[in-house]
Chain A
Amino acid sequence: MALTTVRTPEAVLRAETPQRGPGRAPRRRTPLTWVRGGGLSTLVLALPLLVVFGLFSWFPIVRAVVMSFQSTNLVTPAEWVGLENFQYVLADPLLPQAATNTLYFALLALVFGYPVPLVAAVLMSEVKRMRGLYAALAYLPVVVPPVVAVLLWKTFYDASDTGVFNTIAGWFGLGPFPWLQDQAWAMPSLVLEATWAAAGGTVIIYLAALTGVPPELYDAAEVDGAGVWRKVWHVTLPQLRGVLFVTFILQIIGTAQVFTEPYLFTGGGPANSTTTILLMIYHYAFGGRGDYGAATALSLMLAVVLAVLSAVYFKLTSRWSS
């Protein structure tokens, strides 16, 4: 009886890779062989990218790391201050509130902002006609420049009874609501606009992912008597889980760095109720004295926290998403 052997990918790789040994001397690598092997052309092609990336992306990062250990006003000689900037930032009584506000924004954005694009994409994918129009309408807010969008919404949020939203609420016998002018209302108001502004991009990602779901899976589910909800739960969501995991962590990272909305809507107010970590960094650097050491120290801490969070997240979800 002949045994059937299965070749694992590793075995194939070993078989196809030239083996070094007594019978086959290794080729000497010289500059000439490197050039002939395409090394020079590769380097020349990559050089502009490396220079631009290094100069405008990595150099500022390295510079920021250095500045976080210094006291500098960008004019007089910088002084090395060790961990003083980090100690100062960690002792700042505003830090816990800013961190809490940032988490609150992230949580609200997750609760309201994460499901909305998914539901919208699933609904759009079910529509047979004018799907492109709906997708374009959903994407439209993303095209509006963020500053314009915020200024527009600022007028909507006018807290007087003649404000746009308060007028609409008035038709239903509600309000007027304080929107941005109240410590409890301000953050949800920011999340509402941020969700409106960002959902379109995620909808497009989900729509693209949904086209990759094999239709026979839905057919099979229908044969098994599944309704819409069970098709979504048992077919759509499992098929999208890879994309969902990525958009989830991207949303967390994005919301942890929220700046535009609190900066333009409220400046962090009322009474620091919308002051986020990034707004704190901004105020350290540009709000008064120009404390670039404290600003870069807090930036570095935020980057480390987000990097660790991302690593842990991918570690935890690697099994589920594969």
Chain B
Amino acid sequence: MKSSRRKTALVLVGAMTVSALTACSSSDDDGGLTPAEASAAADEPVTIQVAIDEGLEQGAIDAFDTRIAEFEEENPNITVERQEYTWVGTTFAADLAGGTLPDVFTVPFTDGRGLIERQQVADISALVDELPYAEAFNPNIAAAGQGPDGGQQAIPIAAYGQAVHYNRGIFTEAGLDPDDPPTTWDEVRAAARTISEKTDATGFAEMTKSNTGGWILTTLVYAMGGRAQTVDGDTTTATIDTPEYREALQYLHDLRWEDDSMGDEFLYDWATSHADFGAGKIGMFVSGGGDYGNLATQNAMNPDDYGVTALPLEGEDGAVLGGGTLAAVNAKATDAEQAAAVRWIDFYYMSKLTDEDAAVADAQATADQGQPVGVPILPVFDQGTEDARREWIADLTNVPLDQFAPYSDRVVDQPLEAEPPVATQDLYAALDPVVQAVLTDEGADVDALLADAQAGVQTLIDRG
């Protein structure tokens, strides 16, 4: 009996092992469509699932459905089904493997290169090449969606530069001029000290958790002239143990320990920092220049208090770290689905950047939802195209543009740099504890921290 049970158990375990192995070996072929395949696939009858933001009100859903109907009229062979979707990095791979990801979805710039490296998005570069504006993308923005061979595997649909957000009400309370925000890092430090001394708010807050510590530290490093990686052919080298990273960390150290202007919270992530900024607890912090929508709609920030200014740049190589959103296609999509997906991206996401009717319709639908319209973004193509778009939607713009001027007037002239191309999130994650150590330990050994981070990130880069 005992041996019979043992045999049964062995058979069960064996069967499950075989199943597990089989599951592991299933996969799709791939390497991207050739132009001939793309052309052949373009007219096949096909159904695709496209992403729509979660939690929209019925009016916005109806507007989306209208766009779907217009698209299907133009493309009778394509049936479009909407699917609620929000980018969540932690569950992306499981969604992809489990088949619950839509065919068209959006991802932040930060994750785009990683997904492309790991072949977790379809290589649609041949299809993108066929688009009339394929050569017109702003090269620094397009880089976020390009593969190692330069092919455009994901399409940038919105872009921003990192910025210093500030609370105009707190500035006024501290005796600072909200119309004349800081333009150098020394001025940022002085303003932070004044805010901490004269108000109850934190002068300057820093995100440190869930990879945001590395992200913002790298933003400072870029602004101070450094970079996080160098790429030479196939070889990528981490450049973390460098004077620029030391300088940026020393800057944070001084704000924290010499000026005591960074408050009591040193474990901010993106959501909590924005919540506290929206609640008027933070005077200044660094984040993406396109964050106003979140602050106004999800964190109930008083629009009158909102201010944003361009990052101070120092040194010859000082640059603004770019960010934005990419539209990508499911790696498991068939050739016909990929072709249809790119047509949808062109129709839904890109036309509102290049076509007046589409831009106005989109702005109207957004305004009807009580969402901000007209937040300045960086040009996905060239400044002329972006200026034209702003002009088309000027009557529907409902954000206080004057308060964006310190950012929008200057950022267009600032050099924009793409994020570190390899293992971006891993690099940021490795730097989180470094920033936290500096902010929670006055005697933190910055040299040792950076040396360890450098070694760790290089190992991750080499692991591929």
Residues of chain A at the chain B interface (Cβ within 8 Å): 54, 58-59, 62-63, 65-67, 70, 72-78, 88, 93-94, 158-160, 178, 180-183, 266-272, 283, 286-292
Cross-chain contact B267 with A180 (CB below 8 angstroms): yes
Apart from A59-B19, A66-B24, what 6 extra A-B contacts exist at CB < 8 Å? A58-B13, A75-B96, A93-B452, A94-B456, A178-B440, A269-B267
Cross-chain contact B27 with A272 (CB below 8 angstroms): no
Cross-chain contact B440 with A182 (CB below 8 angstroms): yes
Which residues of chain B in 209-268 are interfacial with respect to chain A, using CB atoms and an 8 Å cutoff? 209-211, 263-267
Cross-chain contact A271 with B19 (CB below 8 angstroms): no
Cross-chain contact A77 with B27 (CB below 8 angstroms): yes
Known contacts A63-B23, A93-B452; is A73 also within 8 Å of B433 by CB? no
- Which of A158, A160, A270 contacts B266 (CB under 8 A)? A270
**Alpha-carbon distance A74/B114, docked complex (angstroms):** 14
Residues of B within 8 A of A181 (CB): 264-267, 440
**Alpha-carbon distance A41/B331, docked complex (angstroms):** 46
In the assembled complex, the CB of A174 is this many whole angstroms from the nearest CB of chain B, namely 16
- Which residue on chain A has the smallest CB distance to residue B213? A269
| A-binding segment of B370-378, B411-419, B422-430 | B422-430
**Alpha-carbon distance A65/B24, docked complex (angstroms):** 12
In the assembled complex, the CB of A43 is this many whole angstroms from the nearest CB of chain B, namely 11
Which residues of chain B in 318-338 are interfacial with respect to chain A, using CB atoms and an 8 Å cutoff? 331-332
Cross-chain contact B25 with A78 (CB below 8 angstroms): yes
Would you call B441 an interface residue if the criterion is a C-beta within 8 Å of the partner chain's C-beta atoms? Answer: yes
20 contacts between A and B (CB under 8 A): A54-B12, A58-B12, A65-B20, A67-B24, A70-B24, A72-B24, A73-B118, A74-B93, A75-B332, A76-B30, A77-B24, A93-B456, A160-B263, A160-B264, A181-B440, A269-B436, A270-B436, A270-B440, A288-B429, A289-B423
**Alpha-carbon distance A180/B92, docked complex (angstroms):** 30
Residues of A within 8 A of B92 (CB): 290
**Alpha-carbon distance A287/B444, docked complex (angstroms):** 25
Known contacts A63-B23, A66-B21, A183-B440; is A75 also within 8 Å of B120 by CB? yes
- Which of A88, A93, A160, A270 contacts B439 (CB under 8 A)? A270
Cross-chain contact B429 with A73 (CB below 8 angstroms): no
Would you call B34 an interface residue if the criterion is a C-beta within 8 Å of the partner chain's C-beta atoms? Answer: no
In the assembled complex, the CB of A290 is this many whole angstroms from the nearest CB of chain B, namely 5
Residues of A within 8 A of B28 (CB): 75
In the assembled complex, the CB of A96 is this many whole angstroms from the nearest CB of chain B, namely 13
In the assembled complex, the CB of B102 is this many whole angstroms from the nearest CB of chain A, namely 16
Interface string of B81-105 (1 = CB under 8 A from A): 0000000011111101100000000
Residues of B within 8 A of A288 (CB): 114, 211, 423-426, 428-429, 460
Cross-chain contact B24 with A73 (CB below 8 angstroms): no
Residues of A within 8 A of B118 (CB): 73, 75-76, 289-290
**Alpha-carbon distance A291/B93, docked complex (angstroms):** 11
Cross-chain contact A73 with B120 (CB below 8 angstroms): yes
- What number of A-B contacts does a CB cutoff of 8 Å give? 136
- Which residue on chain A has the smallest CB distance to residue B330? A75
Residues of B within 8 A of A291 (CB): 463
**Alpha-carbon distance A182/B442, docked complex (angstroms):** 11
Cross-chain contact A267 with B210 (CB below 8 angstroms): yes
Residues of B within 8 A of A59 (CB): 16, 19-20
Cross-chain contact A77 with B25 (CB below 8 angstroms): yes
Would you call B49 an interface residue if the criterion is a C-beta within 8 Å of the partner chain's C-beta atoms? Answer: no
On chain B, the number of residues with a Cβ less than 8 Å from chain A's Cβ atoms is: 57
Q: Which of B19, B93, B424, B426 has the most CB of A within 10 A?
A: B93
Cross-chain contact B331 with A75 (CB below 8 angstroms): yes
Interface string of B433-464 (1 = CB under 8 A from A): 11011011100100000001001100010010
Residues of A within 8 A of B91 (CB): 286
Known contacts A75-B96, A267-B210; is A62 also within 8 Å of B16 by CB? yes
Known contacts A77-B27, A93-B456, A286-B89; is A271 also within 8 Å of B425 by CB? no
Residues of A within 8 A of B264 (CB): 158-160, 178, 181
Cross-chain contact A58 with B16 (CB below 8 angstroms): yes
Would you call B119 an interface residue if the criterion is a C-beta within 8 Å of the partner chain's C-beta atoms? Answer: yes
Would you call B362 an interface residue if the criterion is a C-beta within 8 Å of the partner chain's C-beta atoms? Answer: no
Residues of B within 8 A of A67 (CB): 20, 24
Which residues of chain B in 1-44 are interfacial with respect to chain A, using CB atoms and an 8 Å cutoff? 12-13, 16-17, 19-21, 23-25, 27-28, 30
Would you call B269 an interface residue if the criterion is a C-beta within 8 Å of the partner chain's C-beta atoms? Answer: yes
In the assembled complex, the CB of A163 is this many whole angstroms from the nearest CB of chain B, namely 8
**Alpha-carbon distance A63/B231, docked complex (angstroms):** 37
Q: Which 4 A-B pairs have the closest CB atoms?
A: A74-B97, A271-B437, A288-B425, A286-B90
Residues of B within 8 A of A271 (CB): 433-434, 436-437, 440-441, 444
**Alpha-carbon distance A59/B332, docked complex (angstroms):** 24
Would you call B287 an interface residue if the criterion is a C-beta within 8 Å of the partner chain's C-beta atoms? Answer: no
Would you call B206 an interface residue if the criterion is a C-beta within 8 Å of the partner chain's C-beta atoms? Answer: no
**Alpha-carbon distance A182/B439, docked complex (angstroms):** 9
**Alpha-carbon distance A271/B446, docked complex (angstroms):** 12
Residues of A within 8 A of B456 (CB): 93-94
Residues of A within 8 A of B441 (CB): 183, 271
Cross-chain contact B433 with A272 (CB below 8 angstroms): yes
Cross-chain contact B96 with A74 (CB below 8 angstroms): yes
**Alpha-carbon distance A128/B426, docked complex (angstroms):** 58
Interface string of B257-288 (1 = CB under 8 A from A): 00000011111010000000000000000000
Residues of A within 8 A of B20 (CB): 59, 62-63, 65-67
**Alpha-carbon distance A22/B387, docked complex (angstroms):** 103
- Which of A74, A158, A180, A283 contacts B94 (CB under 8 A)? A74
Cross-chain contact A73 with B440 (CB below 8 angstroms): no
Cross-chain contact B425 with A269 (CB below 8 angstroms): no
- Which of B19, B265, B463 contacts A159 (CB under 8 A)? B265
**Alpha-carbon distance A58/B52, docked complex (angstroms):** 36
Cross-chain contact B94 with A66 (CB below 8 angstroms): no
**Alpha-carbon distance A88/B209, docked complex (angstroms):** 24
Q: Which of B23, B28, B208, B264 has the most CB of A within 10 A?
A: B264
Residues of A within 8 A of B423 (CB): 288-289
- Which residue on chain A has the smallest CB distance to residue B437? A271
**Alpha-carbon distance A286/B97, docked complex (angstroms):** 14
Residues of A within 8 A of B25 (CB): 77-78
- Which of A63, A93, A272, A289 contacts B460 (CB under 8 A)? A289
In the assembled complex, the CB of A233 is this many whole angstroms from the nearest CB of chain B, namely 44
Residues of B within 8 A of A77 (CB): 24-25, 27
Which residues of chain B in 373-431 are interfacial with respect to chain A, using CB atoms and an 8 Å cutoff? 423-426, 428-429
- Which of A62, A76, A182, A287 contacts B425 (CB under 8 A)? A287
Residues of A within 8 A of B23 (CB): 63
Cross-chain contact B119 with A66 (CB below 8 angstroms): no
Cross-chain contact A269 with B429 (CB below 8 angstroms): no
Residues of B within 8 A of A75 (CB): 27-28, 93, 96-97, 118-120, 331-332
